[in-house]
Amino acid sequence: MNAPNLPAPRHAQALPIPPRTPALASRLPHVGTTIFTVMSALAQEVGAVNLGQGFPDFDCDPRLIQAVTAAMQAGHNQYPPMAGVPVLREGIARKVEAIYGHRYDPSREITVTAGATQAILTAILALVHPGDEVIVLEPCYDSYVPNIELAGGTVVRVPLTPGTFRPDFARIAAALTPRTRAILVNTPHNPSGTVWRADDLQRLYDLVADTDVWLISDEVYEHMVYDGQPHHSLATHPGLAARALIVSSFGKTYHVTGWKVGYVLAPAPLMAEFRKVHQFNVFTVNTPMQHGLAAYLADPAPYLGLSAFYQAKRDRFRAGLARTRFRLLPCEGTYFQCVDYSGLSVPERDLPEAAFCEWLTREVGVAAIPLSAFYGDGFDQHVVRFCFAKRDETLDAALARLARL
| CATH number of the domain residue 327 falls in | 3.90.1150.10
Inside any domain, residue 6:
no
Same domain, 235 and 374: no
CA atoms within 13 A of residue 291's CA, in its CB half-sphere: 18
Q: Of 261, 281, 299, which residue sits at a domain end?
A: 299
Hey, how many other C-beta atoms are within 10 angstroms of the C-beta on 237?
A: 18
End-to-end CA distance of the chain: 98
Q: What is the mean pLDDT of residues 269-297?
A: 97
Cα–Cα distance measured from residue 277 to residue 280, given in angstroms and rounded to the nearest whole number: 5
Inside any domain, residue 342:
yes
- Judged against a pLDDT cut of 70, whether residue 256 lies above it is answered with yes
Same domain, 192 and 71: yes
Same domain, 314 and 281: no
Same domain, 41 and 134: no
Confidence of residue 7 (pLDDT cuts 50, 70, 90): low
Cα–Cα distance measured from residue 317 to residue 311, given in angstroms and rounded to the nearest whole number: 10
Q: Is the dihedral of CA 67, 68, 73, 78 positive or negative?
A: positive
Same domain, 164 and 226: yes
- Judged against a pLDDT cut of 70, whether residue 100 lies above it is answered with yes
List the strands of the sheet with 154-159, edge to edge. Answer: 110-113, 262-265, 244-249, 214-218, 180-186, 133-138, 154-159
Inside any domain, residue 18:
no
Same domain, 250 and 318: no
Confidence of residue 11 (pLDDT cuts 50, 70, 90): low
As a 3-state breakdown, the chain gives helix, strand, coil percent values, each rounded to 5, of 40, 15, 45
Q: Of 299, 325, 342, which residue sits at a domain end?
A: 299
User: What does the DSSP 8-state code read for residue 225?
Assistant: B
Inside any domain, residue 9:
no
Same domain, 219 and 328: no
Which residues, including other chains, have CB under 8 Å from residue 22's CB and lie 6 or more apart?
none
Domain span at 166: 62-299
Inside any domain, residue 254:
yes
Q: What is the pLDDT of residues 193-207, one digit of tens each?
A: 999 999 999 999 999
Residue type, 24: L
What is the chain's alpha carbon radius of gyration, rounded to the nearest angstrom? 25
Domains in the chain: how many in total? 2
Q: What is the pLDDT of residues 172-191, one digit of tens each?
A: 999 999 999 999 999 999 99
Inside any domain, residue 203:
yes
Same domain, 272 and 368: no
Same domain, 116 and 200: yes
Q: What is the pLDDT of residues 204-241, one digit of tens each?
A: 999 999 999 999 999 999 999 999 999 999 999 999 99
pLDDT averaged over the chain?
95
Residue type, 119: A
Same domain, 253 and 362: no
Residue 34: per-residue pLDDT: 85
CATH code assigned at 129:
3.40.640.10
Q: What is the pLDDT of residues 20-74, one digit of tens each?
A: 999 999 999 988 888 888 899 999 999 999 999 899 999 999 999 999 999 999 9
Same domain, 280 and 315: no
Same domain, 168 and 270: yes
Q: Of 258, 274, 299, which residue sits at a domain end?
A: 299
- By the 8 A CB rule, do 133 and 148 touch? no
Q: What is the mean pLDDT of residues 353-361?
A: 97
Inside any domain, residue 2:
no
- Judged against a pLDDT cut of 70, whether residue 4 lies above it is answered with no
- Judged against a pLDDT cut of 90, whether residue 324 lies above it is answered with yes
- Judged against a pLDDT cut of 80, whether residue 312 lies above it is answered with yes
Inside any domain, residue 333:
yes
- By the 8 A CB rule, do 111 and 160 touch? no
Does pTM surpass 0.85?
yes
- Judged against a pLDDT cut of 80, whether residue 81 lies above it is answered with yes
Residue 355: per-residue pLDDT: 97
- CB burial of residue 185 (10 Å; 0-12, 13-18, 19+): buried
